[in-house]
Amino acid sequence: MKKNVIYLVIIALLAFAVVYLFKFKGNSASIASQLKDFAIADTAEISRVVITDKQGKILVLKKEKSGWFVNDTIPARKDIVQVLLETLKRIEVKSPVNKPMRENVMKQLSTGAIKVQVYQNNDLQKSFFVGGPTMDGTGTFMILADADEPLITHIPGFDGYLTVRFNTNAEIWRDREIFRYYPSFIDAIEVKYPTSPAESFVLKVANKDQVSIANGKGEMVKGNVNADFLRSYLAAYMDIQYENIIQLALSTRDSVLVPQNLLASITVVNKEGAKKSIQIFKRYWNGRAFVNKGTEVEFDQDRVFVVINGQLVANGQYRTFNKLIVRYQDFTNPPIQSKN
């Protein structure tokens, strides 16, 4: 009888031990796994990403119905947002930080790391800190917000580090598109040339097959319309981008964005009545000489200044904006000779 009791006690203890191991050790393993898991499986559900640098500068990326926005008001570049989302989806732990380096890496992370917070439906799903690259430049030091141990992360197949993908400079994230209109979404385009009014024109788009063309005086186009040229011109407005935003001091702005340097003014109205305007100026810099084929010239031969909606000033390339700077006469077949 006593032996049976002893056997039962032993069996109970063994059962308890098994339950303990499975329950508590299993939970510990799960917690340990979570403290190494930087990735977001379903990036389509991400609603907001907050990036804070070591100076306390905050950048907020937020998804709206019309797309992603930077700091609530600035449309975000689709390509760079996609890179961020791919990073959040594919990031993996490459290895732990070896013991000799651990203390130094922790100091670096505590003083100079970039904090990243990822939200899904406004609930915080992931929070981690991004440090600098490893010595070989193929890994990135990171640590999750609730973890004690730093780790080396990477994206399989990518030979580089990830820190630069978490930038707080809003201008880097800003969408560079000026015009992004399908022809059927355009209601009107007005192009004015201050020095050549006879070459100015207005296009009124009723539909893709019905477009009226008038010159700067309101006179309708005479002759056969070059349909191929017209289609090509309207299609150019699907993708017109600037190079970069520039900050001009007021004194500089007043001396370089002057009427005599204005090449053209373009206004586009979409079918909803929203208007966007640009002014294209020759790129002149207070007497600074530009070099073209070994010869000094007054104006840049490759780039222009573009003023967007009377506010932002950007650099643009002639090869982009020359698609828009055409003459009223070019829409006829054959082109009408200008009589300025």
What 3 state SS string does the chain have? CHHHHHHHHHHHHHHHHHHHHHHHHHHHHHHHHHCCCCCCCCHHHEEEEEEECCCCCEEEEEEECCEEEECCCEEECHHHHHHHHHHHHHCEEEEECCHHHHHHHHHHHHHHCEEEEEEECCEEEEEEEEEEECCCCCCEEEEECCCCCCEEEECCCCCCCCHHHCCCCHHHHECCEEECCCHHHEEEEEEECCCCHHHCEEEEEEECCEEEEEECCCCECCCCECHHHHHHHHHHCCCEECCEEECCCHHHHHHHCCHHHEEEEEEEEECCCCEEEEEEEECCCCCCCEEECCEEECCCCCEEEEEECCCEEEEEEHHHHCCCCCCHHHHECCCCCCCC
Query: Would you say residue 4 has pLDDT above 60?
Result: no
Tens of pLDDT, residues 160-191: 999 999 999 998 999 999 999 999 999 999 99
Tens of pLDDT, residues 51-97: 999 999 999 999 999 899 999 999 999 999 999 999 999 999 999 99
Q: What is the pLDDT of residue 37?
A: 86
Which of 149, 173, 197 marks a domain boundary? 173
Q: What is the pLDDT of residue 28?
A: 37
Residue 25 lies in a domain: no
Counting the structural domains of the chain, the total is 2
Q: What is the pLDDT of residue 31?
A: 35
Q: Are residues 166 and 223 in the same domain?
A: no
Q: Are residues 285 and 199 in the same domain?
A: yes
Q: Are residues 131 and 224 in the same domain?
A: no
Tens of pLDDT, residues 275-284: 999 999 998 7
Query: Would you say residue 257 has pLDDT above 60?
Result: yes
Q: Are residues 218 and 303 in the same domain?
A: yes
pLDDT averaged over the chain? Answer: 86
Domain that includes residue 315, residue range = 178-331
Q: Are residues 204 and 103 in the same domain?
A: no
Q: What is the pLDDT of residue 30?
A: 41
Q: Are residues 247 and 210 in the same domain?
A: yes
Which of 119, 145, 173 marks a domain boundary? 173
Q: What is the pLDDT of residue 292?
A: 65
Residue 305 lies in a domain: yes
Q: Are residues 206 and 133 in the same domain?
A: no
**pLDDT tier at 209 (50, 70, 90 boundaries)?**
confident
Q: What is the pLDDT of residue 35?
A: 46
Residue 67 lies in a domain: yes
Residue 338 lies in a domain: no
Least confident of 7-16, 158-167, 213-222, 292-301: 7-16
Residue 249 lies in a domain: yes
Residue 7 lies in a domain: no
Q: Are residues 188 and 158 in the same domain?
A: no
Q: Are residues 119 and 51 in the same domain?
A: yes
The larger pLDDT score, comparing residue 290 to residue 50, is at 50
Q: What is the pLDDT of residue 32?
A: 46
Q: Are residues 323 and 277 in the same domain?
A: yes
Q: Are residues 308 and 199 in the same domain?
A: yes
Q: Are residues 297 and 189 in the same domain?
A: yes
Residue 23 lies in a domain: no
Mean pLDDT value across residues 137-165: 94
Q: What is the pLDDT of residue 265?
A: 97
Query: Would you say residue 23 has pLDDT above 50?
Result: no
**pLDDT tier at 253 (50, 70, 90 boundaries)?**
confident
Query: Would you say residue 222 has pLDDT above 60?
Result: yes
Which of 173, 188, 209 marks a domain boundary? 173
